[in-house]
Amino acid sequence: MGSSSLNSYILGLISEISEAAKALPSDPFEDDQARKRLHAVAQKLAGALEAPIDTIRKMNHQPQTLAICRTAIKGGWFKALADGDNQKTATELANVTGAERGLIVRLFRVLTAVGIVAEVGQETYASTSVTIALTHPSIYSSVENFGGESLCVFAGLPDYLVQNNYRMPSDPSKAPFVNVYGKRYFDYLKDNSTRGSNFNVFMEGQREGKKNWLDIYPLQDRLAPGLEKDQRAVLMVDVGGGVGHDLRDFGNRRGSMPGRLVLQDLPAVISEVDSSKEPVVEAMAYDYYTPQPIEGARAYYFRSVFHSWNDEISQKILKNQMSAMKRGYSRLLINENILRDSESPLSAATSDVLMMAFFGGIERTETQWHQLLDSVGLKIVGIWVMEEGAESIIEADFRD
């Protein structure tokens, strides 16, 4: 792009920013769509003003930022900074946490440069909204997840792809994660209880800042008509549902719809379910590689399951559910990303590569979802979009 063309492009983006800003309410976070539109244009402007070498340097520094955040989380630095008075010196933080003052100063230089911590004076710091967010378990568990195993796996990805002639990994037993850790990811979590617990908290934290699927899926319209009135019947089975966050949300919003709520996951996960929480759910150890034991439920719900697996394994999981579904009554609900064919959001695009590296899995486009479900005799009867190009609800039924 020539200098005159670049100048015109920048002026055009500034005009777009001005127009997008007019749509913002006084609190930008009240209108997520307007905020994200303005943010997207602002990022384009920042990119246009950034020299290529600066973009590359920023990319090169990202692993450092993740590692430093993990250090600050593990050392209790963010919590110490956010507690009590809003400002603290490096010496005060060192006294509270036991860390060396000089180390805090050096690492906080990076965090203040990227806006995670505010520098309000020489060796004096204040928390930001990001600092405070990083004191919440559901948030800092994501940093631990991506800054731990993910960094190691992606550090080895280039050599892995060279060795495999630049072919996409699809066999979960030979995925890049296995190449680094010697076992499949969920086997690794089972053998490392601390990492497994962190993963469960991380999965709950994935919902932070996002719409709830029940905000966009017309629950009463789709499931209430023709519903069996027997309280002993099963209303919802949450397959691979972790510790039950989504299922309990569903239970709180089902209104007068009767029926049992069944939560299924592997034994190690089910052992962490808090049975005292309301609404009551029935926790059942279950491996979705085996036939579904709960027959004739109104809905079988999957959240973030199929993106972990290639089509062959996904077909097996689907068929195991279909054997229990009641024709003309049961529904399959899938809460997953639906990628755009072009201009995919960064979060969805990176999730796709993460699934490939950890499991040989894939985030699918709408066309790929149709193909997968059609291959086992199912059809999509509705799609409800939570975020364009990303998380959506797919409702599927028997094709014939």
Active site residue ranges: 307
Instruction: Write down the residue that tokens 């599927």 correspond to.
Output: 396
The residues facing 331 across adjacent strands are 299
Strand (E) or helix (H) holding 163: helix 151-163
* End-to-end CA, the chain: 54
DSSP per residue, 110-123: HHHHTTSEEEEETT
E strand residue ranges, 276-350? 282-285, 299-303, 331-339
> Strand 364-365 vs strand 282-285: parallel, antiparallel, or unpaired?
unpaired
Cβ atoms 357, 176 nearer than 8 A: yes
Residue 336 DSSP SS3 = strand
Q: Where are the alpha helices (DSSP H) in 166-309?
A: 176-181, 185-191, 193-205, 213-216, 219-223, 245-253, 267-270
Residue type, 224: A
Residue in 271, 319, 325 with CA at minimum distance from that of residue 300: 325
Which residues, in sequence order, are CB contacts of 310 under 8 Å at separation 6+? 170, 171, 172, 360, 361, 362
CA distance 117 to 163: 41
